[in-house]
Structure formats: structure tokens, C-alpha cells
Chain A
Amino acid sequence: MSESMNSKLEDRRDFLKASALVAGVAVGPGVLFYGIAHSRSPEEGASSKQRWGMLIDTTKCAVGCNDCVTACNTENGLSGKTGEQDSQWIRKLNIKHLQTGVEHNLPMLCQHCENPPCVDVCPTGASMKRADGIVLVDRHICIGCRYCMMACPYKARSFVHEPLTEQNPEVPRGKGCVESCTFCVQRVDRDETPACVEACTASGHQAMLFGDLNNPESDIAKAMKTVATTEVRADLGLNTGVRYQGI
């Protein structure tokens, strides 16, 4: 066998080894495939194949911890004040069962309903649900009538009463419009989790889980298959995207 033939064979062997390695990496952790399948290009819009949801474990939510609220304020440029006219997209609540005295601590935010009453009542179409289930306010056409605030059973929406400056470039906000939790849509579109979830995980409490309810392989879908979860005001039949466990 000539020298050149030898080197060709070596090359081929190297190539086969390398491709086997690449295939191993790609197939080995199935997570990788899942990740690739779910990141979408900027040209591609939100799709109804997905439905974003959140699972909140009230047994892990720590009393006195406010990290989710702080992270939300920072990400979305909220003042952090809690007066009657201040915007609050997520609030920490403490609820107590009057008969037994058992207490629960939980964050309350827009529940991103499948049948959102805020969208039903909006006279201009500003209150809307995106294809992937995220409920938003289109401030370009919001007239500030606040019907949606009255319709929301969760008191999740706020109205901006004063002119604002120094907004976060990714989160435009201004006087005269209603606003609420957006699931940090600007982050979700980059394949990140909402700021509150990130903060909760970083604090070590791990009480919040975010993901695609329609994907049976997602952590949230798996969790909801194994534990009992609760919709707040399930009697209204809104099919909320935010679910609680432990209440």
C-alpha cells in the first residue's frame, strides 16, 4: 500500500471518529435536541404549538423572601412602590385558612388565562392573548379605560397614572395605559425564563417553574402530571397558565 493511500485511510478514520463523536454528543443528552427544536428565529412568530405556563410550589415559597418581586421590578423598570397608584406586576401574598389556621405564602401575578376576562371586555382590542398563551396589553391602542382591571379576578393589572422616563428599552411603559405581568415576553422570546423564576431559582428556593405546558417533555408538564396542582378561582373556568401546588 502506498504512502498516500495510507494517509487517505487515516483521514477517513479520523473523519469517522469525529462524526461518531458529534453524533454521540447530539443524541446522548436528549435535552440538546429539545433545546434546538424550541429556539425560534426572530422571523418566526409566537406559535400556538406552545403554551407558556408557570407552576408555583407554595410549600417552597419562603416567608419574607421578596426576590421575585425585586427581580420583576428591575427587569421591567417598575418603581417598587406599593401604593394604590403604583404598578405591581407580581405581589407576595400571605393567605390563612380561617378554620384551621394554616398559612400559605405565594406570589400572585397575571394568571395568563386561556379564556382571559380582560380580553373579553376590552373595547379596543388592546388587551390580547398571543398565540403562545401570553396575555398582553398593546399600549399602542390601549385607551386607559380600565375595564380589564375591573374584569380581572386576580387584581393583576395596574394603571400608569404619571408620566415616566428612563424606561427599560425592552419594556416600553407610559402614562395612560394598563399594564401587567408579561411573563417577561422579551426574555421568553430569547429562550430565557421570566426574571422572577430566575431570581427564585438563584435564591435556592426553587418554588417557581416555567415552561411549555403543551410539551410533554418539559419539566413543568412532567411536574403537573405527578403532583396535585390548583387553579386559583377554578370555578370561573378560565384555565389559567399559572398553577399553584400546596394550597
Chain B
Amino acid sequence: MARVVNQPGLGKGFRLAACLGAMALLAIPSMPVVAGVDLPKLEHAKGDKCVDEGGYIRRHHPELLKHHRDETMRKGIRTTKYSLKKCVECHAGSKTGSVAASKEDFCIACHSYAGVKLDCWDCHATKPGKRPSHQAAQPAVPSLMPSNGGSQ
């Protein structure tokens, strides 16, 4: 790279562009250092594979769940592919048995990393179903989710 820059006869513009290019190249490997936070480590879920390709689910799960909730709630369509209950069944953590009881649990791990508040668990059960539970819903001890956006 340096040899190219030093070659006589090349225009100033080219040299500038080459410098910028070099800076960009240097900048790429340093990005995770700047962020300074490791990606969340997720526990392996039950079962062989997710209902869809992982990247697609990661990007689109809010829309998928929202669409499914309206279909189920308003029209009575009870398919299981994108059902929240089914997510919980596979992704409940082995320690807590829940998707949202501790910071290591599936939903909270990513959502606390991304600083995105989710209020699904204000109403929905975070543990896989035993129906009908003979224990009535109890008034909650302090909420698990941060009350406003930030990390916990």
C-alpha cells in the first residue's frame, strides 16, 4: 500500500483516496474493541432447529409474533409455527425454566444487550405450560424488566 502511495506521477486525489482506504481498512478490525461489550451468549434451545432460519427469526421475530398474535387473538387461528407459547417451550433456560427470569435467559439476554424493552412478559407466562395451573396468578414481586429502555 505504501509503495503505491509513494509512486511518482500519481495525482493528489488518488493519494488521498488511498489514505482514506487504508484508514477504513484499519478501522474495521478495531470496531468490536470500540463497542467493548461481548455479544450475548445464548443457551442452546431444545429441539434440532428453529421454525425458520436463525438470522431471519432474529431480524423478523417482532413482526412474526405480532402478526401471529392478531391472527390468534382476533380470528381464533391457532397455528403453532410462530406462537409465543411454542418459543417459550423450546427456549426456556435450564436453570430458571423461564425465558425471562434472569439476565442469561433467552429473551432478556439479547434484549438487555440491545437495550430494547419488551412487555410481552407483563401478561404472558415466561415458563412452558402446565395447564391449567392450580396456582392462581400471584401479585408480582418487583418487575424483571427495566422500566425504561436501558440495560438492567
Chain A interface residues toward B at CB < 8 A:
42-46, 73-80, 128, 130-132, 136, 138-140, 162-170, 172-177, 185, 189, 195
Contact = CB atoms under 8 A, between A and B. Distances in A.
Contact of A189 (B76, B131, B136): B76
A167 B124 contact: yes
A137 B55 CA distance: 34
A80 B69 CA distance: 28
A46 B75 contact: yes
Contact of B85 (A79, A132, A165, A169): A169
B143 to A, nearest CB: 6
B73 A140 contact: yes
Given A77-B137, A140-B69, A164-B140, 16 more contacts: A42-B77, A44-B77, A45-B75, A46-B75, A74-B136, A77-B133, A78-B136, A79-B136, A128-B74, A130-B75, A131-B76, A136-B73, A163-B140, A168-B133, A172-B123, A185-B76
A140 B133 CA distance: 23
Contacts of B36: none
B60 interface: no
B43 interface: no
Q: Determine the main DSSP class of B at the interface with A.
A: loop
A166 B125 contact: yes
Contacts of B74: 128, 130, 138
Interface of B: 69-71, 73-80, 85, 88, 122-125, 127-141, 143
Ranked 7 nearest A-B pairs via Cβ:
A174-B123, A46-B76, A169-B129, A45-B75, A163-B140, A172-B123, A169-B125
Contacts of B122: 163, 174-176
A78 B137 contact: yes
Contacts of A74: 132-134, 136
A73 B129 CA distance: 17
B69 A166 contact: no
B123 A45 contact: no
25 contacts: A42-B79, A43-B79, A45-B77, A76-B132, A77-B136, A77-B137, A79-B136, A130-B75, A130-B76, A139-B123, A162-B139, A163-B122, A163-B143, A164-B138, A165-B137, A165-B140, A166-B135, A167-B137, A168-B133, A169-B88, A169-B124, A169-B128, A169-B131, A170-B129, A185-B76
Nearest to A46: B76
Contacts, number: 104
Contacts of B127: 169
B107 to A, nearest CB: 15
A137 to B, nearest CB: 10
Given A140-B69, A169-B129, A172-B124, A45 B76 contact: yes
B123 A177 contact: yes
A75 B135 CA distance: 10
Given A42-B80, A166-B125, A174-B123, A131 B75 contact: yes
Nearest to B128: A169
Given A140-B69, A169-B88, A172-B125, A42 B78 contact: yes
A223 to B, nearest CB: 25
A43 B124 CA distance: 22
B77 A43 contact: yes
Contacts of B80: 42
A166 B124 contact: no
Contacts of A79: 136-138
A174 to B, nearest CB: 3
A77 B140 CA distance: 14
Contacts of B128: 169
Nearest to A44: B77
